[in-house]
Amino acid sequence: MTISKIDLLGKKFNRCMRGYCPDEVDLVMHDAAEALGEAADENRRLLERLDELERSQPGRAPEPALSQPPADIRGTLAAGRKIVVEIHENARREASRILDDARIEGGRIVADANLVKARIFEEIADLRSQREAFEQELRKILEDHFRLLESSGTQAAGGPGGDFIFADGSEGRE
């Protein structure tokens, strides 16, 4: 597996619920680790080969063995590590932003639901008031009607008709 600095820097990840897709990030991290491991192995093999070549040429003075990888490989390894850290940090920031957005949206939804709830309670209170006003008006009309019946009953007591009984059980004259 070969992976270059440009490959890592140019890699774009799909977004999912908690930030970047963890499977994709893990895959790139695995590829980057493989590439860095292969580069380190290749560097070790080349250093061993160089050492063998120097030993096989007796006329040449041996150069001191390299105890560290050349600067360009160290730079590549450091850049790879830096890229991996940046990918993780970007994923964490993106996840945090998504969570913050979800919290804000959740707050908006709760606020909207509370407004709807308040409107419904207001409508219920208005309907109760209307019902009470209707009941009072109906009671007044019925009371007026009964008074008219009673007053017409006392005036017509000597006329045709007869006695009758109200719904409440009291007697009257027609």
pLDDT in tens, 4-17: 666 666 677 777 77
Reference 24, options 10, 35, 14; nearest CA is: 14
On whether both 81 and 53 belong to a single domain, the answer is yes
Range of the domain at 62: 5-125
Among the candidates 85, 102, 125, a domain finishes at 125
On whether both 84 and 145 belong to a single domain, the answer is no
Candidate ranges 18-32, 40-54, 152-166; pick with highest mean pLDDT: 40-54
On whether both 79 and 115 belong to a single domain, the answer is yes
Q: Hey, which bits of the chain come out as E strands?
A: 15-16, 19-20, 163-165, 171-173
On whether both 40 and 109 belong to a single domain, the answer is yes
Confidence at residue 166, expressed as pLDDT on a 0 to 100 scale: 67
In a domain, residue 119? The reply is: yes
Structure-block tokens of residue 47: 């250093």
Whole-structure pTM value: 0.37
On whether both 119 and 141 belong to a single domain, the answer is no
Of 86-90, 95-99, 164-168, least confident by mean pLDDT is 164-168
Query: In the predicted model, is pLDDT for residue 153 greater than 60?
Result: yes
In a domain, residue 87? The reply is: yes
Helices assigned H by DSSP within 57-70:
none
In a domain, residue 130? The reply is: no
On whether both 84 and 151 belong to a single domain, the answer is no
Structure-block tokens of residue 16: 């999912």
Beta bridge partners of 15: 20
Confidence at residue 154, expressed as pLDDT on a 0 to 100 scale: 67
In a domain, residue 17? The reply is: yes
The number of folded domains in the chain is 2
In a domain, residue 86? The reply is: yes
Query: In the predicted model, is pLDDT for residue 134 greater than 90?
Result: yes
